[in-house]
Homo-oligomer: A and B are copies of this chain.
Amino acid sequence: MDTRTGLPVVGMVGGGQLARMTHQAAISLGQSLRVLAANPDDGAALVAADVRLGDHTDLEALRAFAKGCDVVTFDHEHVPGEHIRALAAEGVTVHPSADALRYAQNKRAMRERLDELGIPVPRWWPVTDRRDIVGDVVVKAVSGGYDGRGVWLPSNLDSVPLGAGTELIAEERVPLRRELAALVARSPFGQVAAYPVVETVQRDGICVEVLAPAPGLPEERAVAAQQLAIRIATELGVVGLLAVELFEVDDGRLVVNELAMRPHNSGHWTIEGARTSQFEQHLRAVLDYPMGDTSMVAPAVAMANVLGGQPGGPSIDERLHHLFAEDPGVKVHLYGKQVRPGRKIGHVTVLGEDMEQVRARAVRAVARLRDGR
């Protein structure tokens, strides 16, 4: 507890944009997020008052960081499970637990567990040899990948790092209608709150747009996706947010793609678009506060990621001026990152009545910020 305010201290390991936006939510709850950042110019380190620098794989750094925190949580999946277990054994409250987080850290463990639970995932098998890569498959590193890294599509299966110490699986490609995401939050008490199911639009393995609610998704399929996410959160003992990335298969079935146990790109729309943002909800969950209202503020919400464009052209500040002049209603979130081509440097959100319109505005906004025109 912070003795100055009488309110809890939440420590978040990782100083990226998720911690940055969680800090914004923490401020409303009377808190100041404590952040363990790798670098002083990490997105959250630029804006939070209580920043500790340290390596998230260093148990001593984690121990020092956790001291005085009411709960420790994460903005990424890269803290070794044995370190989380060590902290928990020493009395630190950590959410999600190592046992739960394992299924977000290890794609093989996740698939084995979901297979046991009878929850559909694409057919998969371990890869140790070139001969294991057969059929229409993608190959994935079992751990460490994100934003298209650690995933090899049919177009680049030649570059799979066989025999390089990277544990790999192959996964059959499913005949895909589109990708969806179901976001839920679960508290230690076991209360679960589910957000409306969204469509996530991917390009080159990176999420570029999120549409809330998923357009044209039949009500019973939306409920099925929420129930699936609630069941996974409960069975795996997740505390905090759980994002379930789903494939909506051509025949209408829902198949689990990946899990994340933290605020997730597919939930950024909730900052303006839902009564309770995913960042506030994650804090409420890990602190065992009752969950907040997940209902939408407008009938249609579109989120688009701002990717860094090619060097040159107007400065990011000039681009922002132009965007604001063009569309006074777009909400911009910039993460304080240096611009590099293809890097996620922010996102925009547009609320409205009509999905086609809000999506078009979001797409135009990110083009302005990316290309400066």
A residues whose Cβ falls under 8 Å from a Cβ of B: 1, 4-8, 20-21, 23-24, 26-30, 32, 41, 45-49, 51, 193, 275-276, 284, 289-293, 295, 297-298, 315-317, 320-321, 324-325, 328-329, 331-339, 346, 351
Of the A-B pairs whose beta carbons lie under 8 Å apart in the complex, a sample of 29, sorted by A's number, is A4-B46, A5-B337, A6-B315, A6-B316, A6-B339, A7-B316, A7-B317, A7-B336, A8-B317, A20-B27, A24-B24, A27-B47, A30-B316, A30-B320, A30-B334, A32-B47, A45-B49, A47-B48, A47-B49, A49-B49, A275-B351, A289-B321, A289-B324, A290-B321, A290-B325, A290-B328, A292-B328, A292-B329, A295-B329
CB–CB A297/B329 < 8 A: no
Hey, which chain B residues are within 8 Å of A291, CB to CB? 324, 328
- Of chain B, the residue at the smallest CB distance from A323 is B290
Closest 8 CB pairs of A and B: A30-B334, A293-B329, A290-B324, A290-B325, A293-B328, A32-B47, A5-B336, A6-B316
**Chain B positions within 8 Å of A45 at CB level:** 49
Does B297 lie within 8 Å of A335, measured CB to CB? no
Give the CA-CA distance A228 to B127 in the complex, in Å.
72
How many copies of this kind of chain does the complex include? 2
A26-B334 Cα distance, complex, nearest whole Å: 10
CA separation between A315 and B1, bound complex, in Å?
Answer: 11
Q: Within the assembled complex, what's the spacing in Å between the Cα atoms of A200 and B333?
A: 31
Bound CA span A21–B25, Å: 11
- Chain A contact residues, majority secondary structure: loop
Question: Which of A24, A27, A46, A316 gathers the greatest number of chain B CB atoms within 10 Å?
Answer: A27
Compute how far the CA of A235 lies from the CA of B292 in the bound complex, rounded to whole angstroms: 44
Bound-complex Cα distance A167 to B334 (A): 47
Q: Which residue of B lies closest to A51 (CB)?
A: B49
Distance A336 CA – B193 CA, assembled complex (angstroms): 27
Contact residues in B for A32 (Cβ distance below 8 Å): 46-47, 336
Q: How far is the CB of A350 from chain B (nearest CB, A)?
A: 10
Query: A351 — which chain B residues lie within 8 A by C-beta?
Result: 275, 297
For residue A5, which residues in chain B have a CB less than 8 angstroms away from its CB? 46, 316, 334, 336-338
Shortest beta-carbon distance from A344 to chain B in Å: 13
| B residues less than 8 Å from A8 (CB atoms) | 317
Q: Check if A4 sits within 8 Å of B338, measured CB to CB.
A: yes
Given the interface contacts A6-B316, A49-B47, A49-B48, does A28 sit within 8 Å of B298 by beta carbon?
no
Please name all residues of chain B whose beta carbon is closer than 8 Å to the beta carbon of A51 when the two chains form the complex.
49
Docked pose: A338 CA to B3 CA in angstroms: 10
Question: How far, in whole Å, are A4 and B48 apart by their CA atoms in the complex?
Answer: 16
Residues of B contacting A295 with CB < 8 Å? 329
Q: Are B328 and A276 in contact (CB under 8 A)?
A: yes
Contacts of A331 in B (CB 8 A): 28, 275
Q: How far is the CA of A7 from the CA of B318 in the complex (A)?
A: 9
Identify the closest chain B residue to A346 (Cβ): B30
Complex partner residue of A334 from B29, B297, B317, CB under 8 angstroms: B29
**Cα–Cα, bound, A32→B334 (Å):** 11
How far is A338 from B30 in the complex, measured between Cα atoms in Å? 11
A22 CB, nearest partner CB in chain B, Å = 11
A290 vs B7: C-alpha distance when bound (angstroms):
37
Which single residue of chain B is at the shortest CB-CB distance from A280? B331
From residue A52, how far is it (CB to closest CB) to chain B in Å? 13
